[in-house]
Structure 1
């Protein structure tokens, strides 16, 4: 999966363990949920960590919802759920794999 390189301008907060924002393990780095999107440290600045394209998570029988046991991450106009090291977003009767 490819992420776009979109720098978050004027980001003065330094994310890290205990900073108060939800940590999302994302492969070789950690994203931080902040103001409805995810931030990733990159080369001395913070990027908006967003997937490009549409990747459906196949064979996903679990229905995510409040209290389902997976961490909810507000993300723009919807809620993603952290599941098995990535985010799931409900979309058109299936879950997208972020």
Structure 2
């Protein structure tokens, strides 16, 4: 079992309200839902939106599934790469392995 910390970084001046009909991809993430928006992920928190980014590098051990076009998992643009939503978290290819994001 791994423990992933998430930085609490408020997304300032976010005037768009995310929700099921907002048009942005919903990404299940642990005990909440993130919304993919402009290459990053937001989550509602305490009356504002936070950037929902990992606080450290976390390798997803034992991930043998290969993500890519047609793999069946939603692709979400995340900064300079693509994450794949899988089993309630996001995976990103990194140096020959998959990271949890």
Please confirm whether the aligned pair reaches a TM-score higher than 0.5, indicating the same fold.
Answer: yes
Q: Which runs of 5+ in 2 are unaligned?
A: none
Partner of 1:47: 50
Answering whether residue 71 of structure 2 is matched by residue 68 of structure 1, we say yes
Which sections of structure 1, spanning at least 5 residues, go unmatched?
none
Alpha-carbon distance between aligned partners in 1 of 2:6 and 2:87, rounded to the nearest angstrom: 18
Find out whether 1:19 has 2:22 as its counterpart: yes
The alignment yields a C-alpha RMSD, in angstroms, of 0.7
Cα distance per residue 1:10-57 (max 9 Å; x no partner)? 100000001100001111111000000000101110000000111111
- Residue 58 of structure 1 is matched in structure 2 by 61
After superposition, residues 21-36 of structure 1 pair within 5 angstroms as 21-36=24-39
Q: What's the TM-score once normalised by structure 1's chain length?
A: 0.97
SS at 2:6's partner residue?
Answer: coil
